[in-house]
Amino acid sequence: MKTRRLGKSPIHVSDICMGTMTFGNQADEAMSHRILDKSFEAGIDFFDTAENYPVPPKEEYAGRTEEIVGRWMKTKNRDAIIMATKVCGPSHGWLKGSQRAGKTALDRHNIIKAVEDSLRRLQTDYIDLYQTHWPDHGARYEDALRALDDLVESGKVRVLGCSNETSWGLTKSVAVAERYGLARYETIQNNFSLNNRRFEDELAQVCRQEGVSLIPYSPLAGGVLTGKYQNGARPAGARFSAYLQMGGRQEVMARRFVNDKTISSTERFTAIAEEAGMSVTTLATAWSKQHDFVASTIVGVTHEDQLPDIFAAADLVLEKEVMKKIDTVTKDILYPMG
């Protein structure tokens, strides 16, 4: 498993990261631990969770994922693991946090409370990468960054990152950190896949110029790129099968991922993968890693049987001809996720 640097920090991680947002919901604890064990044995040393997991967020099981990960981590050498987690962010917008009675915000009170609770659930005394899950563009960035900087100074957190940020937000945060001499965001965790290449429009250039690493999530476009939703299929137990029935935010999200354009592009990507002699899961994971601004691609599974196709991408470099074919699909079906 190859490693890459997180931003300009001293930390290097495996270029595949195991995400955990299904743990405690779609995957029970026993399965979650098998997934983590097999990932660790395959050379993955980077794991990502959040105080708001599992998804969809609900107050009755908020934090369950961190508890499952924490019990697993106690069976391993802590120094061998790079653990990432997140503080919710504001609850007045698109996503309402399930922690702290849904009153989450990026202020000192919430950040300190969140990190102390995450440390307890993870059963550790430090977090390697601590991230803001959602930004608050109406608040002063220095308020959150000062609290986060104190966590770095105290040793409870090693490096900082953000998630679901914009070009403006990432640039602003770096400028504020430089102005006040605060620890900056070394990573950005945003949605990035064959079906959603919007990151390349502007944010990739911000990452290159500022030395910030993308750790993309959903490289399989929420499972759509596996082909499970082709021809109108709605497999039992699949996330978007459930979300399409839930209404509200979940249904809106599902229809962004599962629509005529994403189904058409997935069909063509599947054909490219078959011609290249691999599964579309392997193709999509390898493609995600094959960008200069990416440090580690976050994958997620609900069952250990889904791991081999992901692991097959570990040392795979897609040929130029394959990359050209992928780009042709992107040009023919622009922005399938909107």
Residues 27 and 93: beta-carbon distance below 8 Å: no
The one-letter code for the residue type at 143 is D
Q: Cβ contacts of residue 67 below 8 Å, gap of 6+?
A: 24, 121
Residues 199 and 216: beta-carbon distance below 8 Å: yes
> From CA 247, how far away is CA 232, in angstroms rounded?
18
The one-letter code for the residue type at 145 is L
> From CA 336, how far away is CA 268, in angstroms rounded?
13
Residues 104 and 92: beta-carbon distance below 8 Å: no
Say whether the peptide bond before residue 10 is cis (omega within 30 degrees of 0).
no
Q: Which of 174, 115, 103 is nearest to 145 (CA)?
A: 174
272-310 exposure pattern, b = at least 16 Cβ within 10 A, e = fewer: bbeebebbbbbbbbbbbbbbebbbbbbbbbbebebbebb
- Mark whether 53 is an active-site residue: yes
Residues 11 and 281: beta-carbon distance below 8 Å: no
* Annotated catalytic residue within 53, 141, 217, 243: 53
> From CA 312, how far away is CA 93, in angstroms rounded?
38
Catalytic center residues: 53
